[in-house]
Amino acid sequence: MRKLAINGGEPVRAPRNPWPTWPVCTERAVELVTEVVRSGVWSYDGPKEWEFARQFADFSGLRYALTVANGTVAIQLALEALGIGAYDEVIVPGLTWQATAAACLEVNAVPVLVDIDPETYCLDVAAAEAAITSRTRAIIVVHLYGAMADMDAVIRLARSNNLSLIEDCAHQHGSQWRGQGVGGLGDVGAFSLQQSKVLTSGEGGINTTNDWDLFQKLYSLRNCGRPFQDGAPTLQSGNYRATEMQAALLLAQMEQMADWVAVREQNARRVDACLESIMGLRPMLRHEGVTRQSYYCYSFRYDEALWGGVPVAKFREAFAAETGLAVGSTYEPLNNCSLYKPHTKPRYRISEAHWAAIDPGGYRLPAAAHAYAKEGVVIWQPFLLAGQKDIDDIVNALQKISQNRDELPSA
């Protein structure tokens, strides 16, 4: 008898046993949104917007936070506040959601794609250092899925080369490095509040900083150039604000945020321990500097050679069949990404030299390509909010597949 569910065997987790869903709708959220609707103050520096900004800054150990239209805009405004524009080079990890690089294009900067550290899938610091030229103005470090780069090394690299450091924190609201919340490790942080994120208002974003002058610039840039306080200069910009209804949804979630981050981290550590006991499966490296880890996705590494040549796609399929989870790969590397196509937008052609420089096809990203095609296993975060018995299903599924790996076809 074949035992794996992919081959007709009984799955570890019955299909009628659902996983937690996301986002979480609470009566508190309904109450706060109703208050906004009845107040008539639906946008533009409303009381709930500023209360959320204060709470999020306090939760993250930061001085300043403000809401913006979305996560891509948050990166764009960070670049503009730091004075980065046409022809400036910005180092970007080659394995990230395309918006990280696309935001650079929006300010006419040149995203310079560098490879990833295969232990974390985050920025390879040595590759970033090798990419620095006289035109480099900034580094964007992405806290990807459920891992962080060596932030001590990233910060040293930025400071020693007089480069601005932007944190793309879209995946990791609540993570900490040596007790400091992400979004406060560099000059400006950028968070996404899109529906799938661990803190969500459907759409939206957050900018964070510990610098008063940068905060004032960010405020003006997101608010049509208006100054934060009387007497400050105005700036050329547009409307990148969020709304009071979004803030109401966020305030409701902040009441549970610390607990959610803790539960996800605890459950992820249990799965990590299981992976360490199975030949050919490895958790992502957790640097000793990580003091709290948030998870947008849970990712781990699969070694085809140690599984007798069984393709990672077949392993993912077997894992999904046993658990009922959607199991996928990493993002596509940006040098060959179906959604990162700068040359489809004519307005980026500000000169022939710039047009050539923004072509992603000229970069080699072997570690990112290997993670995408051969190794990465990625699961969206809601399952990490489940109970202990549910996480046991994950552990049991991994062990079952390993014990019956001879049922999986090799390439």
Q: Compute CA 59 distance to the chain's CA centroid, rounded to the nearest angstrom.
A: 18
Torsion angle defined by CA atoms of residues 40, 42, 43 and 49, in that order, rounded to the nearest 10 degrees: 110
Q: Which residues pair with 138 in a beta bridge?
A: 90, 164
Residue 409 lies in a domain: no
As a whole number of angstroms, the distance between CA 278 and CA 211 comes to 46
pLDDT in tens, 21-64: 999 999 999 999 999 999 999 999 999 999 999 999 999 999 99
| pLDDT attached to residue 1 | 58
Question: Mean pLDDT throughout 261-277?
Answer: 98
The count of other CB atoms within 10 Å of the CB of residue 106 is: 18
Residue 214 belongs to some domain of the structure: yes
Residue 363 confidence (pLDDT) above 80: yes
Task: For residue 83, give its domain range.
Answer: 27-252
Whether 332 has a pLDDT exceeding 90, the answer reads yes
Using 50, 70 and 90 to split pLDDT, how confident is the model at 95?
A: very high
- Please, what is the average pLDDT of the chain? 97
Query: Model confidence over 54-71: pLDDT tens digits?
Result: 999 999 999 999 999 999
| Residue 194 lies inside a defined structural domain of this protein | yes
With respect to residue 140, please indicate whether it lies within any of the assigned structural domains.
Answer: yes
**pLDDT tens track for 203-218:** 999 999 999 999 999 9
How many Cα neighbours within 13 Å face the side chain of 194? 16
- DSSP-assigned states of every residue in 156-205: HHHHHTT-EEEEE-TT-TT-EETTEETTSSSSEEEEE--TTSSS-SSS-E
Q: What is the pTM of this model?
A: 0.97
Task: Please indicate, yes or no, if residue 351 is contained in any of the structural domains.
Answer: no
Q: Is residue 8 part of a domain?
A: no
CATH number at residue 196: 3.40.640.10
Q: What is the dihedral sign for C-alpha 367, 369, 371, 374?
A: negative
Report the number of distinct structural domains present in the chain: 1
SS3 332: coil
**pLDDT tens-place string over residues 368-389:** 999 999 999 999 999 999 999 9
Sheet holding 290-292, edge to edge: 180-181, 176-177, 290-292
Q: What percent of the chain has pLDDT over 90?
A: 97
Judge whether 136 lies within some domain: yes
Residue 93 lies in a domain: yes
- 39 phi and psi angles, rounded to 5 deg: -70, -25
